[in-house]
């Protein structure tokens, strides 16, 4: 019997439904909530697969998952990539793949990090060429952390004065300034297994409980391009589970956010039909990974970027 563990925190609806769905499929797999009583170096792990829904917030769990991966557990998503991933790099990768993204500039933290001094930044010209940066992104723009999620510390900036006032309140966070895309349509794509795509109409301007109620009348070719971009991004980044958001302006889909190792899967948030797809597809993928599990081998997913295959063929969408 193959064993699949679900590692989660405050979530309720999705982990419970996923465990029940896997166990109801009778595919020779047993799903349960992960139980950890000790973590010792070199320890073996009896889970063939672990679906990770919490380690992005809990460093202890991330270290545990890396240890489990060394013992051959297939962790969804790869905990090593999760430790290295961040939004500015992802944007740069998308740009090289010829996937449209908003113009984005990386900014140093307003305050120096702990245990650093002025000489730690002798290679940094400061003040930076703010006017060049502002000319590049334009206003309005969004000031947001270069790594993170959940709309934490995200600010809409309309003027240079507002930028400097807000930037001064970000303390030691490394930030980025990003062009605002005034969209005509917006989509959130759930991508599972790097190939299964579920495109949801979405409006981030609405209250959280209403965002999945949006509907846009768009050409099917546009939806095909959106799905193609979502698959390509996950193929190069190596995500097992991810969500990719696209803002469409003048028929062009711009990838806005595609660094979501634990995308929203709550029943009350995403709605019943989306929830059913997410639960069923995740269950099928976890079972697939468990059944092909190779004991003692590397069972993690590594993206094309990590495999030195990036930037070989520019991607061209069909619109």
pLDDT in tens, 114-166: 999 989 999 999 889 999 999 999 999 999 999 877 778 999 999 999 999 99
Structure tokens at 50: 């672990």
Average pLDDT in the 57-70 region?
Answer: 95
User: Poorest-confidence range of 1-5, 20-24, 139-143, 206-210?
Assistant: 206-210
The boundaries of every CATH 3.30.1490.20 domain in the chain are 103-179
Contact, 186 vs 245, CB < 8 A?
yes
The Cα 279–Cα 303 span in angstroms is 24
Say if strands 49-52 and 2-7 run parallel, antiparallel, or are unpaired: parallel
CATH number for the domain whose boundaries are 103-179: 3.30.1490.20
Nearest to 258 by CA among 247, 272, 270, 268: 247
Summarised one tens digit per residue, pLDDT across range 156-203 is 999 999 999 999 999 999 999 999 999 999 999 999 999 999 999 999
Give me the phi and psi of 110, to 5 degrees please: -65, -40
| Per-residue confidence band for 208, with pLDDT thresholds at 50, 70 and 90 | confident
Nearest to 218 by CA among 253, 258, 182, 242: 253
What is the share, in percent, of the chain residues with pLDDT greater than 90? 84
The boundaries of every CATH 3.40.50.20 domain in the chain are 2-83
**Number of alpha helices (DSSP H) and beta strands (DSSP E) in the chain:** 9, 12
Nearest to 109 by CA among 184, 22, 168: 168
Whole-prediction pTM: 0.91
Give the H/E segment covering residue 80: helix 79-84
In this structure, which topology does domain 2-83 adopt according to CATH? Answer: Rossmann fold (3.40.50)
pLDDT of residue 261: 85
In order of 66, 150, 216, 271, the CA distances from 298 in angstroms are 11, 31, 42, 36
């Amino acid at each position: 019997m193959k064993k699949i563990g679900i590692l989660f925190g405050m979530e309720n609806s999705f982990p419970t439904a996923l465990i029940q769905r896997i166990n109801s499929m009778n595919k020779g797999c047993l799903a349960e909530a992960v139980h950890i009583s000790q973590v010792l170096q070199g320890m073996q792990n009896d889970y063939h697969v672990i679906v990770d829904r919490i380690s992005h917030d809990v460093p202890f769990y991330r270290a545990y998952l890396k240890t489990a991966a060394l013992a051959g557990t297939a962790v969804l998503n790869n905990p090593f990539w999760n430790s290295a991933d961040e939004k500015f790099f992802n944007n740069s990768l998308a740009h090289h793949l010829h996937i449209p993204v908003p113009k984005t500039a990386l900014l140093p933290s307003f305050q120096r990090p702990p245990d650093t001094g002025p000489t730690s930044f002798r290679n940094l010209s400061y003040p930076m060429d703010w006017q060049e940066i502002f000319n590049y992104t334009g206003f309005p723009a969004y000031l947001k952390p270069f790594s993170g999620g959940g709309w934490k510390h995200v600010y809409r900036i309309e003027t240079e004065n507002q930028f400097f006032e807000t930037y001064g309140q970000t303390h030691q966070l490394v930030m980025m300034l990003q062009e605002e895309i005034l969209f005509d349509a917006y989509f959130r794509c759930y991508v599972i297994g790097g190939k299964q795509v579920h495109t949801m109409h979405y409006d981030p301007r609405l209250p959280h409980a209403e965002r999945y109620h949006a509907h846009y009348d768009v050409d099917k070719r546009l939806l095909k391009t959106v799905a193609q971009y979502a698959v390509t991004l996950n193929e190069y980044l190596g995500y097992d589970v991810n969500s990719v958001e696209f803002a469409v302006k003048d028929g062009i889909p711009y990838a806005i956010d595609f660094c979501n190792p634990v995308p929203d899967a709550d029943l009350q948030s995403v709605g019943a039909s989306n929830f059913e797809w997410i639960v069923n597809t995740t269950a099928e993928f976890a079972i697939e990974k468990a059944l092909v599990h190779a004991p003692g081998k590397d069972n993690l997913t590594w993206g094309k970027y990590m495999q030195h295959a990036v930037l070989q063929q520019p991607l061209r969408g069909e619109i």
